[in-house]
Amino acid sequence: MKSVKTFLLIGLWVLVQECVKCHGGEETSVQPKHVNPCCYYPCQHWGICVRHGLVRYECDCTRTGYYGENCTIPEFWTRIYELLKPSPDVMHYILTHFHWLWDIINQTFLREWLMRVVLTVRASLIPSPPTYNSKYDYMNWEAYSNNTYYMRILPPVPVDCPTPLGTKGKMQLPDPKLLVEKFLLRRKFRPDPQGTNLMFAFFAQHFTHQFFKTHNRLGLGFTKALNHGVDAGHIYGDNLARQLMLRLHTDGKLKYQIIKGEMYPPTVAETKVNMSYPPSVPPDQQMAIGQEVFGLLPGLSMYATLWLREHNRVCDILKTEHPTWDDEQLFQTTRLIIIGETIRIVIEEYVQHLSAYLLKLKFDPALLFNSRFQYQNRIAVEFNQLYHWHPLMPDSFLIDGTEIPYSHFIYNTSILVHYGVEKLVQAFSTQQAGQIGGGHNIHRVVTKVAEAVIKESRELRLQPFNEYRKRFNLKPYKSFIEFTGDKELAKELEELYGDVDGMEFYPALMLEKTRSGAIFGESMVEMGSPFSLKGLFGNPICSPEYWKPSTFGGQIGFDVVNSASLEKLVCLNTKWCPYVSFQVPLPGSPHHQQPPHAEL
């Protein structure tokens, strides 16, 4: 009897080892009675791993287009699709070359057809409704209903895995400070080859902080931005009490102060709104803004001032058109217009610049009205991690011929008023930002933020970078040299991580080899754009119920939304029109100047 038991135990051991081998595990890294088979990420092509007992698992391949034990056998139509589908690099090359072809396409119906294809393909990569959050690694009602959490694209790494990221890599991850100092810290400023400028950098920071609001008091994985999308909360506040303190309660307008004959955000002393300023800045010098941290940088205060002026300008337009409307209706309708303007600028100029596509992107919600599309959105923790683009920041700031170091730039409330919006726009539009990808380009002032992002990802147990590559239909990297394109960097990373399948999400995004002449690598584009486009077109104002003139106060308000641009945002709210763009002017081109409030 004893020999039979021994034989059975040996048989079980051999079976487990064979399972480990077929899923790419290492024999020495696991103990059979403790192994969670889902730690090997055996289920491919979006299949879901369900553990049974101690060492068994099952892959749920429902609606993945694949079948088999690990969801690896393509169905007939999946085979056809895979055969015809070009790789992301080929698609990127086509979309960024052949000017003559795109000049023709952008003037025909093909532009709208291609835009619809881009939207449906990208948006389908983001689960809606949400599937996971940071508390659970399985589907449940809480993940759907609890808006206080960021959602997650992939569930957390199981807690009982042999290594921090599953089964691959070393038992202990590298020190975050070491990673930042060794691979991310700037050695010499590397400008972005796409010509991205600081106007873009501050817009990115200003725009995203309406939905990236980690609620640290509750813990990692929680958010204060409960609307999970573009709601202009960075202008109006993320709760009703704050909104009411910022409102003038007359003609729908926001409170303001007049300095040197120009409109600026009101003071904290007047509004009693809480802002994150150091104690050295008195309340009568603190500007009260919807987002409490926007006193940090003059670039953020500049955008807050522009949107304040735009809100009050639109209120005047609606008041003239609808003299019977009360303060509340004027305010609420103007807010919808501001949200619409924001989305149009983001898609047609911001995303357009990032993509470098020659296809002219178009903000037209009607493109999706005949498609299966859900008008809801939840911000993912992976999107939050991905969007830490601190390499954009320069070594110092050049404004009106003066070089300003960080020590005199941060929390300096006088810069905005001293120079005025026009000169800041001119300065930020003509100063080049840094390249995000490729490593070694984060200024020392913000390295602590990068360290915090790495620590956060570990506490939230984000899956390895290659698992996210597969989730977004990208081929996983087979080696560090393939990943980086740099032998020395690849060697250093291999020494620290041991295996490319054990590479962490955020450091990998920052260190991945960049595309030729691009601001970052393949993964940042292929993962970031689905989040962005789903969040923008998933906004309620883009739905058939909302997207009509009456929502925006009639055709006059609808026209404001449909003609919005970065240039109009600036030039309709300033005394004179500076050069304004998300890209530095081409060499040799004069800075564009227009008379005040010229016809645009």
Dihedral of the alpha carbons of 42, 47, 53, 56, in degrees to the nearest 10: -40
- DSSP label of 222: B
Asked if 214 and 595 touch (Cβ cutoff 8 Å), the reply is no
Q: Kindly list the catalytic residues.
A: 209, 387
Dihedral of the alpha carbons of 444, 445, 449, 450, in degrees to the nearest 10: -20
Q: Would you state the pLDDT for residue 588?
A: 72
pTM for the whole structure: 0.91
**By CB neighbour count within 10 A (0-12 exposed, 13-18 middle, 19+ buried), where does 239 fall?**
exposed
Asked if 319 and 243 touch (Cβ cutoff 8 Å), the reply is no
Q: How far apart are CA 139 and CA 129, in angstroms?
A: 11
Which of 219, 90, 227 lies closest to 147 in space, CA to CA?
227
Q: How far apart are CA 300 and CA 202, in angstroms?
A: 6
Q: How long, in residues, is the chain?
A: 600
> How far from 261 is each of 113, 264, 417, CA to CA, in Å?
48, 10, 11
Q: How far apart are CA 237 and CA 293, in angstroms?
A: 11
Q: What is the pLDDT along the chain (600 residues), one digit of tens a residue?
A: 434 343 333 344 433 343 433 443 333 333 345 689 999 999 999 999 999 998 999 999 999 999 999 999 999 999 999 999 999 999 999 999 999 999 999 999 999 999 999 999 999 999 999 999 988 889 999 989 999 999 999 999 999 999 999 999 999 999 999 999 999 999 999 999 999 999 999 999 999 999 999 887 887 889 988 889 999 999 999 999 999 999 999 999 999 999 999 999 999 999 999 999 999 999 999 999 999 999 999 999 999 999 999 999 999 999 999 999 999 999 999 999 999 999 999 999 999 999 999 999 999 999 999 988 889 899 999 999 999 999 999 999 999 999 999 999 999 989 999 999 999 999 999 999 999 999 999 999 999 999 999 999 999 999 999 999 999 999 999 999 999 999 999 999 999 999 999 999 999 999 999 999 999 999 999 999 999 999 999 999 999 999 999 999 999 999 999 999 999 999 999 999 999 999 999 887 765 434 334 333
State the pairing for strand pair 66-67/56-60.
unpaired
Q: How far apart are CA 393 and CA 433, in angstroms?
A: 6
- Neighbour count for residue 273 (Cβ, 10 Å): 24
What are the DSSP calls for 516-555, one per residue?
A: TT-SSBHHHHHHHHHHHHHHHHTSGGGSTTT-SGGGGTSH
